[in-house]
Amino acid sequence: MKIAVFVSGGGTNLQAIIDNTKDGILKDVEIVLVLSSSKDAYALERAANNGIPSAVVSRKDFDSIEAWDDAVVSAVKASGAELVVLAGYLSLLGPKIVSEYSNRIINIHPALIPSFCGAGMYGIRPHKAALAKGVKVSGATVHFVNENYDEGPILLQKAVEVLPDDTPESLQKRIMKECEWKLLPEAIRLIADGRVVIENNICRIR
Ligand code: GAR
């Protein structure tokens, strides 16, 4: 299966996918495009280091959402990707890419949706919010993407304990290591194997 991975920053989730295509559970998966919302994303270097084609398609370089959305769709179509994976991608996708790739876009979110998600909840912020609320477990969620932030059908979730002396940074690190870097490759594996069915907005794994 050919996939496009969308990024905005450091790209550790991209790295987890790359590693799994080399000697892990994604040997038959090919990353045909890394699309970044920012030219400064370190994820672009990870793509270059692994010979993966990349593109920067930044909202601020376009006059309208429509023109930017068209450019995103064109890049994905040209790559031949069958699945789009948002791996730390921080822009809200435009309506055209969401409808043309309906049920073929997944996102990883660093909290247990429906907690600590939605507009403005990205990066370190869900972890700060989780600690401020005093929750005893948090984790990560892989879900399909619709036109709203963090709202589509949930595919996989994994939880970790929140420890009494956690900081947002320590919690973020544990969730990345124990949840995100495993969950996202696992979600791609399930989709590549045709094991995911969506009925009435609910994901089932066959
Ligand atoms: C990850 O923790 C990811 O879950 C989060 O951004 C980080 C990106 O790290 N995504 C969101 O907050 C989306 N709402 P990475 O660039 O090292 O993969």
Asked if 39 and 55 sit in the same domain, the reply is yes
Residues 45 and 90 in one domain: yes
Are residue 38 and residue 129 in the same domain, yes or no? no
Mutate to test the pocket of ligand 1, among 5, 12, 36, 148 (most ligand atoms within 8 A of CB): 12
pLDDT reported for residue 88: 97
Determine whether the shortest distance from the Cβ of 87 to ligand 1 is under 6 A. yes
Active site residues: 109
Q: Are residues 3 and 97 in the same domain?
A: yes
Asked whether residue 41 is domain-assigned, the answer is yes
Looking at ligand 1, which atom is closest to the CA of residue 110? 4
Residues 73 and 16 occupy one common structural domain: yes
The verdict on 76 and 119 lying in the same domain is: no
Q: What is the pLDDT of residues 162-181, one digit of tens each?
A: 999 999 999 999 999 999 99
Ligand 1 centroid – CA 35 distance (Å): 15
Do the domain assignments include residue 3?
A: yes
> Does residue 147 form part of some domain?
no
CB distance 9 to ligand 1 below 6 Å: yes
- Quick one: pLDDT at residue 201? 94
Q: Which of 188, 158, 155, 189 is nearest to 175 (CA)?
A: 158
Q: Which residue type is seen at 189? A: R
The tokens describing 88, both together, are 């730390």
Q: What is the pLDDT of residue 50?
A: 98
Residue whose CA is at the smallest distance from ligand 1 atom 1: 88
Q: What is the pLDDT of residue 18?
A: 98
Parent domain of 10: 1-101
Low-confidence ranges of the chain (pLDDT < 70): none
Q: What is the pLDDT of residue 56?
A: 98
As a whole-number percent, the residues of the chain with pLDDT over 70 amount to 100
For residue 146, tell me if it sits in a domain: no
| Cα–Cα nearest to 98, from 151, 139, 134 | 151
Split into its structural domains, the chain has a count of 2
**Quick one: 113 and 198 in the same domain?**
yes
Q: Is 6 in the pocket of ligand 1 (CB under 6 A)?
A: no
Rounded CA-CA distance 17/26 in Å is 8
Examine residue 196 and state whether it is found in any structural domain, yes or no.
yes
Are 128 and 200 within one domain? Answer: yes
Q: Which of 180, 181, 182, 184, when mutated, tests ligand 1's pocket best, judged by the most ligand atoms within 8 Å of its CB?
A: 180
Same domain? 114 vs 178: yes
- Whether 11 is in the pocket of ligand 1, judged by its Cβ within 6 Å, is yes
Contact assessment for residue 82 and residue 104, using Cβ atoms and an 8 Å cutoff: yes
- Any domain includes 34: yes
Do residues 148 and 142 touch, judged by C-beta distance below 8 A? Answer: no
Atom of ligand 1 nearest to the CA of 117: 14
Q: Do 131 and 36 belong to one domain? A: no
Q: Is residue 170 part of a domain?
A: yes
The answer to whether residue 144 is domain-embedded is no
* Nearest CA, atom 17, ligand 1: 12
What pLDDT does 19 receive? 98
Q: Are residues 166 and 126 located together in one domain of the fold?
A: yes
Q: Which of 89, 108, 109 to mutate to test the pocket of ligand 1 (most atoms within 8 A of CB)?
A: 108
CATH number of the CATH domain containing 12: 3.40.50.170
For the CA atoms of 48, 50, 52, 54, the dihedral, rounded to the nearest 10 degrees, stands at: -30
92 and 118 in a single domain? The answer is: no
